[in-house]
């Protein structure tokens, strides 16, 4: 599989423990959103590089916050679901990109619009590149519930934001984090 990139390639070349996958369901209760944003603000300043598709509205909001506060982070990797030649960098990310805090990756050639097929391929790539994932919110019965179970099946570490529903059959395999969590557990949690 070919990999197309633009930006700071060293962000993906680091060891797997410095990368943390980031996911959030399309639907999240608004009171949790503001707490999750505060947690993201704290985490982005830690020794973590987030990697994700940054596709849901909440993920896009976090991406925007990163763009406005990139100087305090180690960087971010955006794995897009289409050909990189059809990608346009948002204005709020240009400074982060120019400061080597951002890497745009694509696994696709000739794809103009992301479909479910590309989402599955992208998610598998992210899972293969990292050892842990942070699911800010898993909407019951939705795509991220299935994805979290796939992560667990591969013996990866899963963190879920406190107050997020956790499927009963995987509850004992997931770690919860909140605003008062010691963030060192996220780095090298294995």
Residue 158, pLDDT above cutoff 80: yes
Structure pTM?
A: 0.89
Residue 132: what pLDDT?
92
Identify the band that residue 178 occupies on the pLDDT scale cut at 50, 70 and 90. confident
Tens-place pLDDT, residues 36-65? 788 888 888 888 899 999 988 889 988 999
Residue 127: closest CA among 165, 103, 166, 153:
153
The domain locations on the chain are 4-185
According to CATH, the topology of domain 4-185 is: Rossmann fold (3.40.50)
Residue 157: closest CA among 68, 38, 48, 8:
48
Asked if 107 contacts 80 with a C-beta cutoff of 8 angstroms, the reply is: no
Helix residue ranges per DSSP H, 14-170: 30-43, 57-69, 94-98, 116-129, 143-153
153/16 Cα distance (integer angstroms): 18
143/119 Cα distance (integer angstroms): 10
């Amino acid at each position: 599989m070919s990999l197309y990139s633009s930006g700071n390639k060293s962000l993906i070349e680091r060891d797997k423990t410095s990368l943390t996958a980031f996911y959030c369901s399309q639907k999240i209760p608004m009171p949790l959103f503001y707490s999750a944003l505060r947690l993201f603000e704290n985490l982005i300043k830690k020794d973590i590089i987030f990697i994700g598709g940054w596709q849901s509205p909440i993920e896009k909001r976090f991406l925007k916050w990163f763009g406005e506060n990139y100087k305090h982070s180690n960087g971010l990797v955006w794995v897009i679901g289409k050909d990189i030649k059809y990608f346009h960098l948002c204005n709020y990310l240009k400074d982060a990109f120019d400061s080597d805090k951002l890497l745009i990756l694509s696994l696709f050639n000739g794809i103009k619009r992301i479909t479910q097929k590309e989402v599955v391929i992208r998610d598998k790539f992210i899972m293969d590149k990292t050892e842990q994932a942070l699911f800010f919110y898993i909407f019951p019965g939705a795509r991220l519930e299935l994805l979290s179970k796939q992560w667990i099946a591969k013996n990866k570490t899963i963190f879920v934001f406190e107050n997020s529903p956790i499927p009963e059959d995987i509850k004992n395999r997931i770690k919860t984090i909140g605003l008062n969590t010691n963030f060192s557990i996220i780095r090298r949690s294995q």
